[in-house]
Amino acid sequence: MPKEYRTISEVAGPLMLVKGVDGVAYNELGEIELKSGERRRCRVLEIDGTNVLVQLFESGAGINLAESKIRFLGKQMELAVSEDMLGRVFDGLGRPIDGGPSIIPEKRVDVGGVPMNPAARRYPQEFIQTGVSAIDGLNTLVRGQKLPIFSASGLPHAELAAQIARQAKVRGTDEEFAVVFAAMGITFEESDYFVQSFRETGAIDRTVMFSNLANDPAIERIATPKMALTAAEYLAFDKGMHVLVILTDITNYADALREVSAARKEVPGRRGYPGYMYTDLASIYERAGRQEGKKGSITLIPILTMPEDDKTHPIPDLTGYITEGQIILSRELHRKGVVPPIDVLPSLSRLKDKGIGEGKTRADHSGTMNQLFSAYARGKDCKELMVILGEAALTDIDKLYAKFADEFEKQYVSQGSETDRSIEETLDIGWKLLSILPRSELRRISDEFLDKYYIEEK
C-alpha cells in the first residue's frame, strides 16, 4: 500500500505543491483522492528536497488542502495496449468512454516513449497515393513521414485530413493498416465529422480514437498525443501494421503546455510559449517513422491552426522545423472556391524526392513537378502585375503564364473533396497544363520526356 500524504500545501492552476514527501520519482504518476472519494491523476514535475511539485491532468476544482489525500503510484503514466483497442474510443488519458468493457492489456507501456536510435531508422520512401493531386503530384507523402497540415480557423482542414485518411493507399500492397485519431480540444462536431467519415468507409473498425474535446479539461491534452502515439507504436512496431496518426489540433496542445509553463513561472520564450516547446513537440513528432527489422510504419499528420493565419507564429514555426514538410491551406484559394485550398508554393514535402520517379510513380514525375512549381510561381507574379497594370502590360509569354496559373488552380488543385485521382491522372493533368506553355520554356524537363508527353498544339 503506497503512502498517503495529506500535506498538499498549495494549489495554483494546474499545479500543486506537496510537502514532506520522500521517495517519489521524477515524472511519477500520482493520484489525488478528494473528500468525496473522487480520484484524479497528476504527475511529478519537480522534486526539491521533500517538496514535490505536481501537475494535475484534470481540473483543480474541489481540491481541499486539508481533506484531500495524494499518493504516488510508483510508475509513470502508462497505457494498457492490446489489439482490441481497434474500433474503441478513449478519453484523453486513455480510459474507455464508449461504454464498452475495459481493455484487457497485452502489456502496459510507458507513454513517454524512448527516443529512436537514428541508426535504426529506415528512410521513408514508399509512395502513398492520397488521391489528392496537389499532394501526390507536388508534395508527395511517403510511408513513415510526418507531414502536418497548416490551417487556420474557417478553413476545411478536417475535410482534407479525412479525405487523405479515406483514400490513402500504397499501391500494389495489401497490408494491414490502422488509423489512430487523437482529438485535442476540438469541438464535438469536428470530431464527429471524422467518426462519420471513418464509418462510411468502414475504417472505423480499424481506428483507435482518443478524444479530448473542447469541453474536457485542457490540461488533460498534454497527455493525449503521447497516448495516441504509444498506441500507434504498439500497432506499428509490435503488430506490424501501417498506422496513420491524425492529431488535431496541435495549437490546443501547445496552449495547454503554455498554461503549465506560465503557472510554473518559467521564463517564457516567444509569445509566452515555453522555451522547451521545440523539444516537447519534437518528442511527439519524431515518434513517426520506420524502423530497421520492423514491418510496420507510423505516418503522422498533425493538424494545426495558425493564429491570425501567421506562419511565423511559434506553433507552426517550430512544427515546420521538426516535421518533414507542411501542407498549407490558403484563405485566398478557399474564397475562390478551390477545394481543397492547398497553397502549393509554400507547401513542401521533404521526403518526396526519394519517393517518386521510375518504379515508384513515373519517371517524368520529378521534372514535371519542378516545372509546374516554377511555372505557377511565375504565373502568379504575372497575374499580380496584371492587376496593377492591366493585361496590356504583359508580354505574350507572360500572358500564357498567367493563363497557366489560372488553369492550374482550377484543374489541378481544385478537384473537390470526393475525387480520388490516381498518380497517372495527376501527372497527365500536369502535362496538359504545361502544354499551354511553349516547349522552349520547359527547361526543367529533359528532352526525353518532352518528346513523350508534351502535347503540341495542332
Please, what is the minimum distance in Å from the beta carbon of residue 246 to another protein?
20
Assess contact for 289 and 121: CB atoms under 8 A.
yes
**Residue 244 half-sphere exposure toward CB, CA atoms < 13 A:** 28
* Cell numbers that stand for 258 in this block: 503554455
State the first-to-last Cα distance of the chain, in angstroms, to the nearest integer. Answer: 86
Cell 511565375, residue?
378
Cell 516554377, residue?
374
Please, what is the minimum distance in Å from the beta carbon of residue 98 to another protein?
31
Please, what is the minimum distance in Å from the beta carbon of residue 267 to another protein?
5
| Of residues 399 and 432, the one with the C-beta less far from another protein | 399
Q: 156-215: which residues touch another protein (CB under 8 A)?
A: none
Position 115 contacts another protein (CB under 8 A): yes
Give all strands (DSSP E) within 189-346, no chain letters.
Answer: 207-213, 242-248, 297-305, 325-328
Binding mask 124-163 for another protein (x = CB under 8 A): x-------------------x-------------------
Angstrom distances, CA of residue 302 to CA of 126, 178, 181, 325: 20, 16, 10, 11
Give all strands (DSSP E) within 174-283, no chain letters.
Answer: 177-186, 207-213, 242-248
Please, what is the minimum distance in Å from the beta carbon of residue 275 to another protein?
5
How many residues bind another protein (CB under 8 A)? The answer is 84
Q: Which stretch binds another protein (CB under 8 A): 110-118, 196-204, 413-421, 422-430?
A: 110-118
Binder among 307, 377, 410, 432 for another protein (CB under 8 A): 377
| Of residues 166 and 313, the one with the C-beta less far from another protein | 313
Binder among 1, 61, 104, 114 for another protein (CB under 8 A): 114
Please, what is the minimum distance in Å from the beta carbon of residue 149 to another protein?
15
Binder among 170, 213, 282, 363 for another protein (CB under 8 A): 282
| Of residues 191 and 261, the one with the C-beta less far from another protein | 261
Assess contact for 249 and 147: CB atoms under 8 A.
no
Position 238 contacts another protein (CB under 8 A): no
Please, what is the minimum distance in Å from the beta carbon of residue 307 to another protein?
13
Please enumerate in sequence order all residues whose Cβ is within 8 A of that of 166, keeping only pairs 6 or more positions apart, or say none: 197, 200, 201, 203
Assess contact for 31 and 70: CB atoms under 8 A.
yes
Q: 310-329: which residues touch another protein (CB under 8 A)?
A: 311-314, 317-318, 320-322, 324-326
Position 65 contacts another protein (CB under 8 A): no
Q: 260-279: which residues touch another protein (CB under 8 A)?
A: 266-270, 275-276, 278-279
Position 399 contacts another protein (CB under 8 A): no
Angstrom distances, CA of residue 439 to CA of 18, 143, 160: 74, 35, 34
Position 351 contacts another protein (CB under 8 A): yes
Position 446 contacts another protein (CB under 8 A): yes
| Of residues 81 and 103, the one with the C-beta less far from another protein | 81
Name the pairing type of β-strands 29-33 and 15-18.
unpaired
Assess contact for 39 and 31: CB atoms under 8 A.
yes
What's the rounded Cα separation, in Å, for the pair 236 and 255? 29
Position 62 contacts another protein (CB under 8 A): no
